[in-house]
Amino acid sequence: MAHKFTRVVIVNDTTVARGGAAQLAMQLTRNLVARGVKVMFFAGDDGENEELAALGVDVVSIGGEPLLTSRRGAIDGIYNQKAAQRLKALIADIDGPDVVYHVHAWAQILSPSVFAALAPVAERSVVTAHDFFLACPNGNFSIYPKSRQCELRPMSARCIATHCDKRRYAHKLWRVARQAVLNAQINFKRLPFSVLAIQAGMTPYLSRGGVPEKQISILTNPAVQMVEARVPAERNREILYVGRLEHEKGVDILAEAARASGAPLRIIGSGSDEATIRQAYPDAIFQGWATQSEIAEAFRRARFFVMPTRCTEPFGLAAAEALRAGLPVLTSASCLIGAEVKQKGMGDVCDIFDAAVLRDRISDWMRDDGKIKSMSAAAFERASEIAQTESAWVDGHLAFYDRLVAAAALD
């Protein structure tokens, strides 16, 4: 099928697939190339990725470092001049009416400066909202020190006065400064940037932060089918967590509840809280980051999957993949997919901040094989209602790019 676009430029902080946004940016790149699309990758890191080279993807990188490890993080995080200059030069070199620009993660290295570079081609630029950084200074609509969701309007006086940062209030003020720069560069009131939300429940949050609903489209994430047959979860004993080990992810809460209930817990992933959690909960199984085949094997051993996040979580790729394997999923109330998972009989929502409630829920699920089997069967049968197939996800992107280019041609 002939498309209205001829080239896609993927813009992402890194070429290393750590975290959901980077994984999806790489997954999309891989699939676009397989469909015969010419792809370029604009990256904030050193751009050294053997897979991209093997795919024949041209990589333009700025050789930057994440905020917390860069000596210039405080400055470049607000406006990375090098990123803006390199991206402007790339656009000047390759742009045409059939080129599409797709931004994924930008908050760790590239900064809001990429939107200044993309402003002249905003009508053919789309941003996937993997999180809420487009709308909220801390990216999560969460008040981290109080471990609860935030109901304030982003960048209002009350928002600015509220200490919601996971570290300190001075860092919150830095985030406010970055958000002000972002709002000025992306300026939805005058620039036709498009936004792809990965879950319909994100729209009210994005809209509260100033993203016009008319510029938001929904394209749910894909979830890989890692195992062909339903995992007989009711026969298994391990609880499973897959993801980053950061405070907002609530892994420490899960580890405490698992210990209290006597249930074995396997943790796949890494992050800044790993050493602390390892020391406090040596009885848990820490596997570190794992390959897809290793995660599939962990799915086969698991009884259910837990997503104990403290913050507002828009999706949860690992949870969606667990559902596809037939694992029941237990989420915190701040996970936007939780209500749908519960409604479809694939799992439940739990108050993770009440230690006794979470402990008792885990104990109940460890005892009740019938309940686990029922939720497992529902998950395996209905997981596609939470996350689509990879093929359908790629089709959705191709159709969206076509619409962007066609609409831009009419302006």
pLDDT score, position 68: 76
pLDDT tens for residues 164-185?
Answer: 998 899 999 999 999 999 999 9
pLDDT score, position 316: 86
pLDDT score, position 379: 97
Between CA 199 and CA 217 the distance in angstroms is 9
**170 and 86 part of one domain:** yes
- CB-facing half-sphere around the CA of 43: CA atoms within 13 A: 24
In a domain, 126, yes or no: yes
pLDDT score, position 69: 82
pLDDT score, position 352: 87
**177 and 295 part of one domain:** no
**Domain region containing 296:** 233-385
Which segments of the chain have a pLDDT < 70? 1, 19
**86 and 204 part of one domain:** yes
Q: Give the CATH number, domain containing residue 28.
A: 3.40.50.2000
Three-class DSSP labels, 207-240: HHCCCCHHHEEECCCECCCCCCCCCCHHHCCEEE
Name the nearest CA neighbour of 405 among 39, 32, 7.
Answer: 7
**159 and 196 part of one domain:** yes
Between CA 156 and CA 142 the distance in angstroms is 15
> Is 250 in contact with 333 (CB distance < 8 Å)?
no
pLDDT tens for residues 286-301?
Answer: 999 999 999 999 999 9
**246 and 162 part of one domain:** no
**245 and 172 part of one domain:** no
* pTM (predicted TM-score): 0.87
**381 and 398 part of one domain:** no
Gap between the terminal Cα atoms of the chain: 25
**Edge-to-edge strand ranges of the sheet holding 38-43:** 58-61, 38-43, 7-12, 99-103, 125-129, 194-197, 216-218
Number of folded domains in the chain? 2
Q: Is 363 exposed, middle or buried (0-12, 13-18, 19+ CB in 10 A)?
A: middle
CA dihedral for 175, 176, 179, 181, sign (positive or negative):
negative
> Is 217 in contact with 283 (CB distance < 8 Å)?
no
pLDDT score, position 355: 84
In a domain, 284, yes or no: yes
**278 and 347 part of one domain:** yes
pLDDT score, position 312: 86
